[in-house]
Amino acid sequence: MTNNQLEAFVMVADYRGFTAAALHLGISQSAVSHAIRSLEKELGVQLFIRLKADAELTEVGARLLLRAREMMGLYETIRQEAADAQGLKTGTLRIGSFGPSSSLRLLPALLHEYRRQYPMIEVHIDEGPDQDVKQWILDRRIDIGFVVLPEERFETYELVKDQMVALLPPKHLLARQVSIRLGELCSDPFIMTEAGSAEIVTSLFHAKNLLPNVHFRSAQVMSTLALVGRGEGVTILAELALPEGEQLKAEQAYLVKPLSPPAFRHVGLAIHSKKRASPAALAFIQVAKKMDLSKLQSQR
């Protein structure tokens, strides 16, 4: 069993096909097929059900996939620890990121500093909903991920305290108020986010025994902003999820008001286990801990 075989196994599973896996790996489809056939022969089991356009994991293949990811992670850790003795010159870092908060506001600044210090580390970024990022950490698909805290399943490192804000149409009756109480948002049609702040927004209302008048559910921040701008309803989002700069000027057909009392969410980094984390992942954490990310908060 070789690392190339395991890598082919994981890539075919992730991309659900031999052609897409081959493109990602930069090798021929026949080479990927040969690696999978050899691995299946060595293990004595069928890992995939071959379809016309896709490849689906068999039941045993799905069970073995997690072990394959663990073995690949250990292989990369060994390789990086050897490189670490030479100044962490080479290696790979797989990062999971969710939504505008981490992908557009936090990650670029962190990557800029990380690449400055470790220019030879190859960085892979997977983006998806926050729940997907957590699952990717569990599945060992990524080395480190941005998550909303607290998260008891992982070792975590807080990065920023992010204020929750109410968003109103420009001509709303509450437009002149400095801050907004949760109860004042219950009579209007409410646009419930299904992105990284969903659990926090729901818990805020639940803690006050309030029930918002949910008319829309949106997983995309820009769709939510457009609905508010058209006067379709009100919502609550995290401040870091909102556009900034020139994009803010183009999109801000809405009012942003802090909540009363103030409410926050905490965003941080999570790894499965510090003991088994790669040097590249630990180095990323150290870079993040030394940076002041509070300046990335929106200035409104």
23-52: pLDDT as tens digits: 888 888 999 999 999 999 999 999 999 887
Rounded to a whole number, what is the distance in angstroms from the first to the last CA of the chain?
57
**Intervals of CATH 1.10.10.10 along the chain:** 1-72
Q: Give dist(CA 254, CA 38) in Å, integer.
A: 58
- Is it the case that residue 248 has pLDDT exceeding 70? no
- Res 173 pLDDT > 60: yes
Return d(Cα 92, Cα 177) in angstroms, integer. 49
Whether 234 and 248 have beta carbons less than 8 Å apart is answered as no
Mean pLDDT of 238-262: 77
What average pLDDT does this structure show over 195-220?
91
Checking DSSP bridges between strand 121-127 and strand 144-149, what pairing results, if any?
unpaired
- CB-based contact 158:237 (threshold 8 Å): no
pLDDT band at 69; cut points 50, 70, 90: confident
The count of other CB atoms within 10 Å of the CB of residue 155 is: 14
Q: At which residue do the structure tokens 């356009």 appear?
A: 53
Give me Rg for the CA atoms of the chain: 22
Question: Which DSSP state fits 253?
Answer: -
Which helix (H) or strand (E) covers residue 233, if one does? none
What pLDDT, on a 0 to 100 scale, did the predictor assign at position 96?
95
Top mean pLDDT of 63-67, 118-122, 212-216 is at 212-216
Find out whether 178 and 257 touch, Cβ atoms under 8 Å.
yes
Q: What pLDDT score does 201 carry? A: 95
pLDDT bracket for residue 144 (50, 70, 90): very high
Give CA–CA dist 243/198, Å, rounded: 18
- In angstroms, the CA 31 to CA 43 distance is 18
Q: What count of Cα atoms within 13 Å lies in the side-chain half-sphere of residue 260?
A: 8
In this structure, CATH architecture of domain 160-265: 3-Layer(aba) Sandwich (3.40)
Question: How does strand 155-168 pair with strand 235-238?
Answer: antiparallel
- Residue pair 204/136 in contact (Cβ under 8 Å)? The answer is no
Q: Which CATH architecture has domain 1-72?
A: Orthogonal Bundle (1.10)
**What number is the average pLDDT over the span 277-290?**
92
Whether 246 has a pLDDT exceeding 60, the answer reads no
Residues forming beta bridges with residue 124, ordered by sequence position? 94
Q: Confidence class of residue 282 from pLDDT cuts 50, 70 and 90?
A: very high
Cα 125 off chain centre by? 9
Locate CATH 3.40.190.10 in the chain. Answer: 160-265
How would you classify the pairing of strands 264-271 and 144-149? Answer: antiparallel
Q: Does pLDDT of 300 surpass 60?
A: no
- The token pair at 147 is 């998550």
pLDDT of residue 249: 45
Least confident of 26-35, 69-78, 90-99, 136-145: 69-78
* Count of other CB atoms within 10 angstroms of residue 79: 17
